């Protein structure tokens, strides 16, 4: 990352325990180098063992990443970055509206049969990623399933996770693949649901009206 990017990222990173006087050994590699290595791996889709020699040893990078993931630090770091981007755009740190959608992608031959499926609508054998984003397109939640998993089935789980983390959400836009039983069985009964391709009224769309989004305030 550039010096400007590092200057923006560094204050958002968790402080190591040994710097807070909680004991432990100082880390052998700086966080900037570790983040560069992880970014390279994600951006290029390489294997951990194929990490270029310009970065720390792959096993040290993996241990660093796994430790952050197990302690929830990767999610915390991402959330802090999203809040900063929203504030810079003149929005509240926490969104009040979002968009949910899914995409089926072909899986490689090495992907096990137990984690893949056939999407009959898209004619794709592989996996499906389900995502909820805010109105700026910033990620709020994501889940990966076999491609034969229905959108409504996955959305019930994903939206449960998203509402647990983002309590101000009142409105979710979705397409025609999400109506019906999702509204009845989802814990989001206080939400409003609107089709992305329909008018803002209930005519020609599907929505569940409640007190949460009837105030007339614009979604953020």
Q: Please say whether the beta carbons of 30 and 13 come within 8 A.
A: no
- Closest C-alpha among 61, 75, 52, 1 to residue 27: 61
Position 109 scores a pLDDT of 79
Rounded to the nearest integer, the mean pLDDT of the chain is: 81
pLDDT band at 217 (very low <50, low <70, confident <90, very high): low
Looking at per-residue pLDDT, the higher value among 58 and 190 belongs to 58
- Closest C-alpha among 189, 104, 183, 173 to residue 145: 104
96-150: per-residue pLDDT in tens? 999 999 999 998 877 888 889 999 988 999 999 999 999 999 999 999 999 999 9
63-91: per-residue pLDDT in tens? 989 988 888 888 888 998 999 999 999 99
pLDDT band at 218 (very low <50, low <70, confident <90, very high): low
Q: Please say whether the beta carbons of 29 and 55 come within 8 A.
A: no
Q: Please say whether the beta carbons of 138 and 158 come within 8 A.
A: no
Given the DSSP bridges, would you call strands 117-119 and 97-106 parallel, antiparallel or unpaired? unpaired
Position 76 scores a pLDDT of 86
């Amino acid at each position: 990352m550039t010096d400007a990017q590092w200057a923006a990222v560094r204050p958002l990173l968790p402080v190591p325990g040994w710097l807070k006087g909680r004991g432990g050994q100082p880390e052998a590699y700086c966080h900037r180098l570790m983040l560069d290595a992880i970014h390279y791996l994600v951006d290029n889709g390489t294997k951990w063992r194929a990490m270029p020699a310009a970065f720390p040893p792959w096993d040290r990078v993996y241990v660093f990443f796994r430790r952050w993931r197990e302690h929830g630090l990767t999610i915390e770091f991402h959330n802090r970055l999203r809040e900063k981007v929203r504030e810079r755009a003149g929005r509240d740190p926490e969104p009040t509206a979002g968009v949910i959608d899914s995409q089926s992608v072909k899986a490689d031959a090495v992907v096990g049969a137990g984690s893949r499926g056939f999407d009959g609508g898209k004619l794709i054998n592989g996996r499906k990623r389900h995502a909820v984003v805010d109105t700026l397109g910033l990620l709020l939640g994501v889940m990966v399933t076999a491609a034969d998993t229905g959108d409504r089935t996955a959305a019930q789980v994903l939206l449960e996770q998203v509402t647990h983390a983002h309590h101000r959400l009142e409105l979710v836009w979705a397409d025609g693949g999400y109506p019906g039983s999702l509204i009845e069985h989802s814990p989001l009964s206080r939400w409003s649901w609107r089709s992305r391709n329909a008018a803002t009224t209930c005519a020609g769309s599907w929505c569940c009206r409640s007190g949460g989004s009837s105030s007339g305030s614009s979604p953020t």
